[in-house]
């Protein structure tokens, strides 16, 4: 859909044009970070998959598949609904193109036709047979596409030429069609030509007016189709009770507030940060009434805070609602269970670009290479957890079914992403894709992707989080692990070119 502000009548009369300039930053499952990253296994093959959904729907998604080993010979990709009958009947997949520079890298493009919960199914063939991987992809139209000024000028010029040509042809036909060869038109013939030209001009004006009205109506209709994130309102009492109310501002009629599903054990993952990003809380409010969540707050000084609330619908679509909170001085309660804070008591507030100290004397080391961080490139962020003696920690535990969690926040808070070692897709959506894949292939679904058995092996190795920065700027990365029953958080700073 082309926005209605740039010569819509020209495009209406001449041709429908697909423009190529996206307008706004996406705010969907992750704020300002719409791309999907997945570290998964397709049978015997380990893959790192990046899916960049289109900004406008229908639109084209870019898919990159990086195989860990060079034994992969062919990669095919196909878009499907994430669940339901449509997930069982896959059309003929497209063959991804192998990169000339890296034989392990395959790229392709897929049309995403409607908004909602989709998946990109990746079929891999190689020396060890065939494997299949499902990548959940929420397709949320985030903007219209703008017509560029040069394109608008070209179309407007073509409109004038076609209009003038149509009027000239009609006038000449009425004036000279009945004449014999070589006969010159007399006064009556010229009068017929002028009358026909006037009628043709009127028809052109009517067509342009109706076309402009139709185009404006289509643009207005699509503007209502553009994704509107859930709205959140937060308030806190002096005794430390937080209330967060979600509201649907109107988007698709199928979106609901009563269909949230647990994602690693909680209906909501709430992240609270200060504007300076020098304090961080990861909490899990409980839902009372539909769309109303409550949470006893820990100790917090009075001030303004920014909230990011992650929820997952039963369809597999995840959303992040944002809110601001002007909180009083809260005495609060001690954190228990999966709730956590940074800095912890006894932990320094300072951050680092390489190693961060933990309260027990251990540290988390960012094992980064010499390559500068750039935008729109899949990067594996690898961290080693060490004990107080400097050796790899042996007391790591699963934290909500995962070896670790990472939160990427840009300094201006316009980019926020909650990422796991498996990638940026929520485990609840991965589970839906896994079930749909097992039903379509007739195979056993096996253990859930976020079960302890699925990640136990990762506890003895460095933690890796696949992610790609959507925009340049200064970022803070919060890395969370669980050791000896305690959640520990480290913060790292990064500059993205």
To 10 degrees, what angle do helices 187-225 and 149-176 make? Answer: 150
Short-list 183, 293, 289, CA closest to 232: 293
Q: For residue range 286-323, list pLDDT tens digits in order.
A: 999 999 999 999 999 999 999 999 999 999 999 999 99
- Quickly state the pLDDT bin for 186 (edges 50, 70, 90): confident
Domain membership flag for residue 26: no
- How high is the pLDDT of residue 27? 46
CA 321/CA 310 separation, integer angstroms: 7
- Whether 255 has a pLDDT exceeding 70, the answer reads yes
The SS3 of residue 230 is coil
- Quickly state the pLDDT bin for 14 (edges 50, 70, 90): very low
Short-list 276, 290, 295, CA closest to 235: 295
Q: Which residues pair with 105 in a beta bridge?
A: 66
Extract the tokens encoding 89: 């009947």
**How many residues would you count in the chain?**
497
Domain membership flag for residue 119: yes
- Cis omega before residue 309 (within 30°)? no
CA 140/CA 53 separation, integer angstroms: 8
Domain membership flag for residue 1: no
- How high is the pLDDT of residue 18? 31
Same domain, 234 and 286: yes
Residue that finishes a domain, picked among 225, 257, 291:
225
Extract the tokens encoding 82: 């994430």
- Quickly state the pLDDT bin for 10 (edges 50, 70, 90): very low
pTM more than 0.85: no
- How high is the pLDDT of residue 440? 76
- How high is the pLDDT of residue 311? 96
Same domain, 401 and 290: no
CA 129/CA 122 separation, integer angstroms: 14
- How high is the pLDDT of residue 253? 84
- How high is the pLDDT of residue 348? 67
Same domain, 434 and 329: no
- How high is the pLDDT of residue 36? 95
- How high is the pLDDT of residue 187? 81
Cα–Cα distances in Å, from 371 out to 79, 243, 368?
33, 43, 8
Short-list 107, 56, 101, 103, CA closest to 77: 107
Total domain count, the chain: 4
Cα–Cα distances in Å, from 26 out to 1, 31, 129, 273?
17, 7, 38, 21
Residue that finishes a domain, picked among 98, 117, 139:
139
- How high is the pLDDT of residue 146? 76
Domain membership flag for residue 282: yes
267 or 90: which carries more pLDDT confidence? 267
CATH, residue 256: 2.60.40.1220
Residue that finishes a domain, picked among 79, 105, 139:
139
- How high is the pLDDT of residue 199? 94
Same domain, 311 and 434: no
Same domain, 384 and 478: yes
Q: For residue range 342-386, list pLDDT tens digits in order.
A: 998 767 666 667 888 898 889 999 999 888 999 999 999 999 999
- Quickly state the pLDDT bin for 222 (edges 50, 70, 90): confident
- How high is the pLDDT of residue 88? 81
Cα–Cα distances in Å, from 450 out to 170, 307, 382, 444?
70, 25, 20, 16
- Quickly state the pLDDT bin for 447 (edges 50, 70, 90): very low
Domain membership flag for residue 396: yes
Q: Mean pLDDT score of the chain, rounded to an integer?
A: 87
Domain membership flag for residue 23: no
- 397 CB burial (10 A radius; 0-12, 13-18, 19+): middle
Same domain, 494 and 351: yes
The SS3 of residue 209 is helix
- Whether 40 has a pLDDT exceeding 80, the answer reads yes
Domain range for residue 128? 31-139
- Whether 22 has a pLDDT exceeding 70, the answer reads no
Same domain, 13 and 44: no
The SS3 of residue 188 is helix
- Whether 26 has a pLDDT exceeding 90, the answer reads no
Q: For residue range 99-119, list pLDDT tens digits in order.
A: 999 999 999 999 999 988 999
Q: For residue range 381-415, list pLDDT tens digits in order.
A: 999 999 999 999 999 999 999 999 999 999 999 99
82 or 346: which carries more pLDDT confidence? 82
- Quickly state the pLDDT bin for 21 (edges 50, 70, 90): very low
Tell me which range, 195-209, 217-231, 336-350, is most confidently predicted by mean pLDDT: 195-209
Domain membership flag for residue 25: no
Domain membership flag for residue 2: no
Same domain, 378 and 435: yes
339 or 175: which carries more pLDDT confidence? 339
CATH, residue 41: 2.60.40.10
CA 162/CA 208 separation, integer angstroms: 12
Same domain, 278 and 204: no
Same domain, 221 and 235: no
Among 270-274, 338-342, 443-447, the least confident range: 443-447
- How high is the pLDDT of residue 3? 38
Extract the tokens encoding 418: 């909650």
Among 45-59, 145-159, 196-210, the least confident range: 145-159
Same domain, 328 and 220: no
Phi-psi sector, 49: left (phi>0), alpha (psi -120 to 50), beta: beta
- How high is the pLDDT of residue 349? 66
223 or 33: which carries more pLDDT confidence? 33
Among 6-15, 262-271, 305-314, 474-483, the least confident range: 6-15
- How high is the pLDDT of residue 446? 47
Same domain, 496 and 375: yes
Arithmetic mean of pLDDT, 84-106 = 91
């Amino acid at each position: 859909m082309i926005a209605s502000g740039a010569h819509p009548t020209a495009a209406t009369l001449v041709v429908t044009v697909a423009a190529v300039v996206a307008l706004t930053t996406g705010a969907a499952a992750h704020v300002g970070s719409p791309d999907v990253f997945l570290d998964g296994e397709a049978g015997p093959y380990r893959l790192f998959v990046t899916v960049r959904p289109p900004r406008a729907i229908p639109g084209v998604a870019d898919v990159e598949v990086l195989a860990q080993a060079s034994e992969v010979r062919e990669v095919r990709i196909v878009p499907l609904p994430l669940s339901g009958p449509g997930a069982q009947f896959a059309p003929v997949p497209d063959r991804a193109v192998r990169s000339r520079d890296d034989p392990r890298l395959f790229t392709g493009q897929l049309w995403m036709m409607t908004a909602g919960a989709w998946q990109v199914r990746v079929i891999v063939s190689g020396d060890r047979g065939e494997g299949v991987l499902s990548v959940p992809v929420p397709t949320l139209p985030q903007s219209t596409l703008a017509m560029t000024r040069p394109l608008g000028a070209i179309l407007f010029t073509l409109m004038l030429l076609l209009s003038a040509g149509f009027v000239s042809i009609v006038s000449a036909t009425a004036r000279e069609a009945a004449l014999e060869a070589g006969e010159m038109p007399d006064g009556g013939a010229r009068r017929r030509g002028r009358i026909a030209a006037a009628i043709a001009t009127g028809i052109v004006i009517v067509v342009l007016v109706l076309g402009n009205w139709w185009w404006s109506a289509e643009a207005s209709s699509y503007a209502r189709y553009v994704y509107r994130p859930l709205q959140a309102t937060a308030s806190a009492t002096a005794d430390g009770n937080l209330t967060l109310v979600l509201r649907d501002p109107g988007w698709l009629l199928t979106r609901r507030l009563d269909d949230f599903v647990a994602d690693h054990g909680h209906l909501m993952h709430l992240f609270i940060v200060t504007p300076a990003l020098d304090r961080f809380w990861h909490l899990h409010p409980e839902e009372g009434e539909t769309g109303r969540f409550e949470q006893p707050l820990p100790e917090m000084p009075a001030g303004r805070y920014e909230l990011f609330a992650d929820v997952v619908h039963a369809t597999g679509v995840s959303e992040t609602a944002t809110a601001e909170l002007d909180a009083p001085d809260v005495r609060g309660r001690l954190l228990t269970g999966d709730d956590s804070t940074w800095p912890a008591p006894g932990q320094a507030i300072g951050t680092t670009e390489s190693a961060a100290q933990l309260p027990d004397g251990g540290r988390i080391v960012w094992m980064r290479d010499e390559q500068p961080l750039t935008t729109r490139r899949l990067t594996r962020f690898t961290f080693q957890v060490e004990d107080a003696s400097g050796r790899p920690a042996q007391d790591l535990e699963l934290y909500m079914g995962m070896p670790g969690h990472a939160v990427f926040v840009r300094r201006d808070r316009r980019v926020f992403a909650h990422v796991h070692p498996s990638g940026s897709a929520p485990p609840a959506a991965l589970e839906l894709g896994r079930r749909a894949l097992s039903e379509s292939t007739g195979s056993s679904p096996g253990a859930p992707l976020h079960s302890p058995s699925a990640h136990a092996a990762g506890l003895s190795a460095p933690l890796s989080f696949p992610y790609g920065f959507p925009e340049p700027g200064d970022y803070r990365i919060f890395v969370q692990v669980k050791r000896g029953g305690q959640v520990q958080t480290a913060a790292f700073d990064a500059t993205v070119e």
